A = this chain, B = another copy of it.
């Protein structure tokens, strides 16, 4: 009985597995330099704050930049380059005037975070080997429904980040 099960597993599972490995090799060969990450890192909303920012103009968002524990430790210790496994994330919400706050304060001064934007979540994942072609960082971007941006859009990440190679390609500074 055990032998039959083993044979069945071998017949049913192995071809798929082999196809998958071969497919993987084929994909890797075609696309020798993966630069995009397609999964949202679990638990990112619980990460610690690196800093905050406002992008005006077309983006018109207000954002929190967060880091996983590896990234935060490196930031706080001022260590560059960031170690393997570091992830820097940012959440972008629409930038909206708070009528509620302004009414209470008696001044037009308060701008708050509204709904998730079209580039709601972005992450940089440090893996020096896997993402060697883009400075050791894999880039990702997700809309308000968690859908990753298409690869064409993602090619615009590294050219800008490359300009700050001296800070290991990371724009955001840690603000204590």
Contacts and interface: CB of A to CB of B under 8 A. Distances in A.
A40 interface: no
Given A53-B110, A54-B111, A54-B112, 14 more contacts: A45-B49, A45-B176, A52-B63, A52-B64, A52-B112, A52-B113, A53-B112, A53-B113, A54-B62, A54-B110, A93-B175, A100-B164, A101-B171, A104-B164
Contacts of A175: 91, 93, 113-114
Interface in A134-171: 160, 163-164, 171
B64 A109 contact: no
Contacts of A105: 160
- The CB with the most chain B CB atoms within 10 A, among A48, A49, A57, A98, is that of A49
Interface of A: 45-49, 51-59, 62-64, 66, 91, 93, 95, 98, 100-101, 104-105, 107-114, 116, 160, 163-164, 171-173, 175-176
Identical chains in the assembly: 2
Contacts of A111: 53-56
A51 B113 contact: yes
A67 to B, nearest CB: 11
A58 B104 CA distance: 16
A49 B62 contact: no
A64 B48 CA distance: 11
Contacts of A57: 107-109
Given A104-B163, A163-B104, A109 B55 contact: yes
A49 B65 CA distance: 10
7 contacts: A49-B49, A51-B113, A54-B95, A55-B109, A57-B108, A101-B171, A104-B160
